[in-house]
Amino acid sequence: RKEVEQDPGPFNVPEGATVAFNCTYSNSASQSFFWYRQDCRKEPKLLMSVYSSGNEDGRFTAQLNRASQYISLLIRDSKLSDSATYLCVVNPPRAQKLVFGQGTRLTINP
């Protein structure tokens, strides 16, 4: 089983829709969780950290479910500029590194 798994998509949704995707991780003792955004042929950029209590940043909401070992990202009122690949990132225990998921490709259509 992969350490971090994401549905690669692609997800195609109309502008203004709400879209959500999940990411599962294999090690229950993982400590840190992040969502990154990567535009085509660009470097990944930190979108948000994911906290146990869940957190919101404008139209974006991230949640962590430790019991089921997944994190989620919800995008409300999606914009054309939200089109990108979203990477789920996890820090396994006792590892001084992050593990990146394959990414979920999202396209927002006008």
Partner 1 sequence: DGGITQSPKYLFRKEGQNVTLSCEQNLNHDAMYWYRQDPGQGLRLIYYSQIVNDFQKGDIAEGYSVSREKKESFPLTVTSAQKNPTAFYLCASSIDRGLGPQHFGDGTRLSIL
Which stretch, 19-27, 51-59, 65-73, 91-99, contacts partner 1 (CB under 8 A)?
91-99
Closest to partner 1 by CB, 53 vs 94, is 94
Residue 44 sits in the site that holds partner 1 (CB under 8 A): yes
Taking the C-alpha atoms of residue 47 and residue 33, their distance in angstroms, rounded to an integer, is 11
Strand, helix or coil for residue 35? strand
Which stretch, 17-25, 61-69, 76-84, 90-98, contacts partner 1 (CB under 8 A)?
90-98
Taking the C-alpha atoms of residue 108 and residue 83, their distance in angstroms, rounded to an integer, is 5
Q: Which of 65, 103, 101, 105 lies closest to 83 in space, CA to CA?
A: 105
Residue 9 sits in the site that holds partner 1 (CB under 8 A): no
List 44's β-bridge partners, or say none.
Answer: 38
What does the binding site for partner 1 look like in residue numbers (CB under 8 A)?
31-32, 34, 41-46, 49, 87, 89, 91, 95-98, 100-103
